[in-house]
Structure 1
């Protein structure tokens, strides 16, 4: 019976070591919301900076006016052809502008425009001011079309994601990636960001409400988010592939010994 007790204790210890604590899993644990009552939590500060243009960015710029023909020379289009049928049909698509290594784009009628460091609202205002002499009722619409982030590590769907809006938080990005797996470390999310040619690193703790006060809470273009595996997952990956079978066999052996020693 002593052998049975020892083996049973061994299996229990292995099981407990593989379990994750509740405090390691729950997001925003210190958020003080009274159950059954409406409550408001206000963050100390929220860091959000609209994405600014960098070399190799791609922009779409649409210039509109009450007179579409007057606005046409200020819009770049390319024609694509559908060759699937007997006759080919041309369809116009808006062409994107590439920001060169010095931060310039080449815009129709206006020539070289420096957009480095501008956000889309600032560029819209610049374009509308410059085009007023041609189109008194001009409206400019600018979009950054290559706003991408990368989600790596212990997320359900790792990969690169295209963002179609200016503002996306780390929690929204994790939601896009299907949430963290049960093996992901909630208390040490790594974010890698390039700023003016320098690489910055941030640590985020999703268990704390203070995550919203981090300058890395809202993501910037080309941010890389890495979710490290927790300790049980690391230990599991470092152990023999047959470890789970050994545990199962040990449990079966305990059962057999228990029956034989009755």
Structure 2
């Protein structure tokens, strides 16, 4: 009888250990939510470095002027034998520029231009300065069209996401993927980033506000976020159907023996 009690106690202990505690689940646990006549809990300064253009980025660049015809030679339009490069509303489609391995693009009228290392706004000003002698009222608009991030692991909707703005934090990215599942480890989020041909790894803990000071808090193009599964999830994945049957049969046997030995 004592042996049976020990087995039951061991199973109960295993069940308790397998359960996730509140400290494993809650985000930003160290944010002080006790306020005195104020809706502002705390203020933390977060530094944002604007995205810089890298090799293999794809850009759209539109050069405009009061006189559209004068700006036309500085725009790269898409040619098409069937539609003449026109959209449904009759406007010509612009072709994107692929930044080569040396960080350059071939720009109409100006030739090869080094663009890597510029932010989007810096490149706009750089182009306006170069074109201004030919087009005094020039206005440049640059867009990064391949700002993509990948989110893998324990989230509701893993996959690749295209970002249509210049700035997105890791929390916003996780929101796009439908948040972490209950099985995702909050304390060891991994972010992989390509830095000049080498992969740099960042680790952040969503349970503490300290992760907002990480260089990876704001994401860059082609960042990969990986959410690791917790131990119960791993154990459930590696357990075979046979093990489940054995555990169920053992539990049934213990119950029968307990009843017969009362």
Q: TM-score range by the shorter chain?
A: 0.7 to 0.9
Classify 1:81/1:208 alpha carbon distance in 2 versus 1 (closer, same or farther; 3 Å): farther
Query: Following the alignment from structure 1 to structure 2, what is the Cα–Cα distance between the partners of residues 186 and 169?
Result: 16
1:172 aligns with: 172
How do residues 38-77 of structure 1 correspond to structure 2 at under 5 angstroms?
38-43=39-44, 45-77=45-77
Query: Following the alignment from structure 2 to structure 1, what is the Cα–Cα distance between the partners of residues 246 and 258?
Result: 18
How far 1:260 moved relative to its partner?
4.8
| Contact kept? 1:80, 1:93, Cα under 8 Å | no
3-state SS, counterpart of residue 184 of structure 1 = coil
| Contact kept? 2:77, 2:85, Cα under 8 Å | no
3-state SS, counterpart of residue 188 of structure 2 = strand
**Residues 1:25 and 2:21 are matched in the alignment:** no
Query: Following the alignment from structure 1 to structure 2, what is the Cα–Cα distance between the partners of residues 89 and 226?
Result: 40
How far 1:60 moved relative to its partner?
0.3
Query: Following the alignment from structure 2 to structure 1, what is the Cα–Cα distance between the partners of residues 241 and 251?
Result: 18
How far 1:80 moved relative to its partner?
5.3
3-state SS, counterpart of residue 77 of structure 1 = coil
Unaligned runs of 5+ in 2: none
Aligned length: 257
| Contact kept? 2:85, 2:93, Cα under 8 Å | no
1:197 aligns with: 197
How far 1:4 moved relative to its partner?
5.6
2:117 aligns with: 117
Q: Give deviations 1:219-249, integer Å, cap 9, x for gaps.
A: 1111121111112222333333333444444
3-state SS, counterpart of residue 113 of structure 1 = strand
How do residues 84-233 of structure 1 correspond to structure 2 at under 5 angstroms?
90-91=86-87, 92-233=92-233
Query: Following the alignment from structure 2 to structure 1, what is the Cα–Cα distance between the partners of residues 141 and 27?
Result: 38
Query: Following the alignment from structure 1 to structure 2, what is the Cα–Cα distance between the partners of residues 110 and 226?
Result: 42
**Residues 1:15 and 2:5 are matched in the alignment:** no
1:242 aligns with: 242
Q: Give deviations 1:11-34, integer Å, cap 9, x for gaps.
A: 322321321111011110111122
Query: Following the alignment from structure 1 to structure 2, what is the Cα–Cα distance between the partners of residues 233 and 181?
Result: 11
TM-score w.r.t. length of structure 2: 0.87
Classify 1:27/1:107 alpha carbon distance in 2 versus 1 (closer, same or farther; 3 Å): same
State which drifts further: 62-71 or 239-248.
Answer: 239-248
Query: Following the alignment from structure 2 to structure 1, what is the Cα–Cα distance between the partners of residues 225 and 19?
Result: 25
Greater relative contact order: 1 or 2 (C-alpha under 8 angstroms, separation 6 or more)? 1
Query: Following the alignment from structure 1 to structure 2, what is the Cα–Cα distance between the partners of residues 41 and 82?
Result: 59
